[in-house]
């Protein structure tokens, strides 16, 4: 069985004060004995404040991005070890906004994945197709290629040890959600691509997950949790989504 996980991607939102308040609220209300692991991904500059606000809770900390390099003359970049030093256990790798807006290639994503695991960070590898690719019936092919690029560099077993998030680009931040059947179809294909070792790989769905649609997604056999953007900025809504995952368990 894959371990259930509920992840909140705060993107480039909030202030030091709002990030701390959100983390404190989650820390107070998230039941430490609950099975799914909860992890939040604040902006880099709020990581230290959020870490403090989460202390004493079981909620893990993650970063939204990392450099593929260990150190050196890379102005503006943040290394995996720097994130470890700040108390991060997780990192998003290859989010579609990084791929589309910051031109990250499959190869760069693979390098970042290796850098993360090399420092003991758990990567959440994000994959997903654009609307055009879906309309051209290329969804499974695109997702398989995105995963294969990382397998080629990191090895199948290392990819199976990570978390993979299927996030259709056309659903992210748009209020559009893949139907539970559409999501399950892609998750099933990812699981098949990973082979035997992939039976315990945690596979998340992301793309406009809300409390009202979470249960139908989480009940799918190959969906082990969610990567939540907009709805994770509201503490109670995020807790309600996490509750749906507990109930599916
Ligand atoms: P969304 O974002 O929930 O706002 O669609 C998901 C994500 O980008 O990870």
Structure confidence by residue, pLDDT tens digits, 69-83: 999 999 999 999 999
167 is catalytic: yes
Compute, in angstroms, the gap from residue 237 CA to the centroid of ligand 1: 14
Domain ranges across the chain = 5-248
* CATH superfamily name and code, 5-248: Aldolase class I (3.20.20.70)
Contact assessment for residue 228 and residue 242, using Cβ atoms and an 8 Å cutoff: no
The Å distance, Cα 216 to ligand 1 centre, comes to 17
Residue 9 CA: which ligand 1 atom is closest? 9
For the entire predicted model, the pTM comes to: 0.97
Supply the pLDDT for residue 59: 97
93-98 long-range contacts, CB within 8 A, separation 24+: 93/65, 93/66, 93/123, 93/124, 93/125, 93/126, 94/125, 94/126, 94/127, 94/146, 94/150, 95/9, 95/64, 95/65, 95/126, 95/167, 96/126, 96/128, 96/167, 96/169, 96/172, 97/11, 97/172, 98/65
Give the C-alpha separation, 19 to 11, whole Å: 11
Report the pLDDT value the prediction gives residue 33, as an integer from 0 to 100.
72
Confirm or reject: Cβ of 167 under 6 Å from ligand 1: yes
Cα 8 from Cα 228, distance rounded (Å)? 5
The mean pLDDT value of the chain amounts to 96
- The per-residue pLDDT for range 59-68, each reduced to its tens digit, is 999 999 999 9
What is the reported pLDDT for 3? 95
- Across the chain, which has 249 residues, the per-10-residue mean pLDDT values are 96 98 97 86 98 96 98 98 98 98 97 98 98 97 98 98 97 89 98 97 97 97 98 98 89
């Amino acid at each position: 069985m894959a371990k259930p996980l509920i992840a909140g991607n705060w993107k480039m939102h909030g202030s030091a004060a709002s990030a701390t308040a959100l983390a404190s609220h989650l820390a107070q209300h998230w039941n430490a004995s609950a099975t799914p692991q909860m992890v939040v991904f604040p902006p880099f500059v709020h990581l230290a404040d959020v870490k403090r606000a989460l202390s004493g809770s079981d909620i893990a900390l993650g970063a939204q991005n990392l450099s593929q390099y260990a150190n050196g003359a890379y102005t503006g970049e943040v290394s995996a070890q720097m994130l470890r030093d700040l108390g991060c256990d997780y990192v998003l790798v290859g989010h579609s906004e990084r791929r589309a807006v910051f031109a990250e290639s499959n190869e760069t994503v693979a390098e970042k994945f290796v850098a993360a695991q090399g420092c003991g960070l758990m990567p959440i590898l994000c994959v997903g197709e654009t609307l055009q690719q879906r309309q051209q019936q290329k969804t499974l092919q695109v997702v398989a290629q995105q995963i294969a690029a990382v397998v080629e560099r990191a090895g199948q077993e290392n990819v199976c040890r990570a978390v993979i998030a299927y996030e259709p680009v056309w659903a992210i931040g748009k209020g559009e959600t893949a139907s539970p059947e559409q999501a399950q179809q892609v998750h099933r294909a990812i699981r098949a691509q990973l082979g035997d070792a992939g039976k315990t790989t945690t596979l998340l769905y992301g793309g406009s997950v809300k409390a009202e649609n979470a249960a139908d997604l989480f009940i799918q056999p190959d969906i082990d949790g969610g990567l939540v953007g907009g709805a994770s900025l509201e503490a109670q809504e995020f807790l309600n989504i996490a509750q749906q995952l507990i109930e599916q368990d």
